[in-house]
Structure 1
Amino acid sequence: MFKILARINKIILPSFTKQRLDVSKAKKWQMAIIGYRYYVTTRALG
């Protein structure tokens, strides 16, 4: 299930690393997306 979510996230959600976002200056909604993508990715790999 997490592998499917990870694929959907890659297509739909923005990649902040490609946009060169500084994490220390990220807004709360951006941090929420980063945290969600991290959670799903780690669960898909493990």
Structure 2
Amino acid sequence: MKKQFFKFLAKVNKVLLPSFTKQGLDLSKASKIQMAIFGWKLYVTKNALD
């Protein structure tokens, strides 16, 4: 159940949130909002793969 929820969230994230790797964003120069989005996407992806 939990894994299915995170897989769904990962699909929603892919559609709605920007991809910083495609934009070539340097994480050392990222704003706090960009870092929060990056962290959220990382958290969801990690839980979807477990």
Task: Specify if TM > 0.5.
Answer: yes
Q: TM tier, shorter chain?
A: over 0.9
The structure carrying a bigger helix percent of its residues is 2
Show structure 1 runs of 4+ deviating over 4 A.
Answer: none
RMSD across aligned C-alpha pairs, in angstroms? 0.3
Q: Alignment partner of 2:22: what SS?
A: coil
Is 1:5–2:14 an aligned residue pair?
Answer: no
Unaligned regions of 5+ residues in structure 1, if any?
Answer: none
Number of the residue aligned with 2:40:
36
Larger Rg: 2
Number of the residue aligned with 1:26:
30
The TM-score normalised by the length of structure 2 is: 0.91
Q: State the identity as a percent.
A: 63
The TM-score normalised by the length of structure 1 is: 0.98
- Matched positions, count: 46
